[in-house]
Amino acid sequence: MSGQRPTWAKIDLDALASNFNWVQNRVGESVKVMAVVKANAYGHGAIECARRLNREGAEWFAVATPEEAIELRRARITQAILCLGGFWEGQEKLCLDESLVPVVYRLDMIEALDRAAGEARKIADVHLKIDTGMGRLGVRFDEVREFADALSMFRNIRVDGVMTHFAAADNPAFDSFTDEQVARFRQAVETLRERGYKPTFEDLANSAGTFAHPDSWGNMVRPGGVLYGLWRDILPPSHTTPELKPVMTLRSRIILLKRIHKGETIGYGCTFEASREMLVAVLPIGYNDGYVRALSNRGRVIVRGTYASVVGRISMDLTIIDVTDVEGVALNDRVTLLGEDGNLSVTAEEIAGTAGTLSYEITCGISARVPRKVKSEY
């Protein structure tokens, strides 16, 4: 870490590979695993993650936007890439030139893609999204018949996949709703096939669906968070702990140690008052790095095999921790803010629970200011 700020995220690509293979073994060889690497692979680094997943046999990747897909193409990722959000006006030719498969859900976007494909003398593969109850993107499940009839006018479009997205597959209390989503999807696919469409892929299952609803697997699943070892707050409770490994570790180092006397306050707003003589440490990481402000006076980190509490408000670039009870603590000691250190750990799910959010948001939020270092560099 010489020559730069001592704050970094370690990315364990071996753990990523293990998680991918765990999912593939779970669904079996007849079901493809589309690796979701949107949002910079949930903050883990899309290019490095895609390259490793490619070596593990991933044939499909999913991103949110064509912009994310182009980043992979420029890194020589040649596998099929699904753009979950579709494309923006004027990106039709880009999708064709870069062999991107957009998700479609409006006739006007399909018309624009059809026109561009005709001019290029190509057939554009798309995945048609059905809204079975999420209420977000997609053709309403009860409007598929009319949409399919209108879709038939476009000669340069091939519906190679049909998909949907679950709203609450992680919650057993909503199992009946998830079952209803599956049923609506099956009916939509049947309607499409009756009208002559022959989609190669039927994909419904996200991470939660892959784990809890085998009847939703179709012939391709779309795991996201579980690939990165995020599961405790997005998979339903189970007696079986999945064999998933966290991929990201977030660390920093102590840049200052100082004494705080009883009655003195710490940080912006004076929100922490010392109830005893204290030794505190300053870390060069803050909310601009993605160490969220909601952890102020509530978070914990690991120093020398001991948990240490965050004290005072987390600021943009700095965080203060209480190291009074950390034996032998010294300047430049390594601090683990996310991940495992010896027998102790701070999980993304724990941080999310403290901050009142989801583990995905924690890893996605680790900013570009924090360098990612793959395991082989350590």
| Cα distance between residue 5 and residue 357, in whole Å | 28
Hey, CA dihedral for 208, 214, 215, 218, is it positive or negative? Answer: positive
The tokens for 319 are 């965080």
CA atoms within 13 A on the CB side of 189: 20
Yes or no: say if 97 and 73 are a contact pair by the CB < 8 Å rule.
no
Active-site residue set: 38, 268
Radius of gyration for the alpha carbons in the chain, expressed in angstroms and rounded: 24
* 140: three-class secondary structure by DSSP: strand
Under DSSP, the state recorded for 324 is: T
* 216: three-class secondary structure by DSSP: helix
Give the other-Cβ count within 10 Å of 153's Cβ: 11
Yes or no: say if 125 and 98 are a contact pair by the CB < 8 Å rule.
no
| Cα distance between residue 226 and residue 36, in whole Å | 10
Give the other-Cβ count within 10 Å of 248's Cβ: 25
User: Residue 124 pairs with which residues in a beta bridge?
Assistant: 157
User: Residue 221 pairs with which residues in a beta bridge?
Assistant: 33
| Cα distance between residue 173 and residue 45, in whole Å | 34
Yes or no: say if 234 and 171 are a contact pair by the CB < 8 Å rule.
no
The tokens for 247 are 């991929």
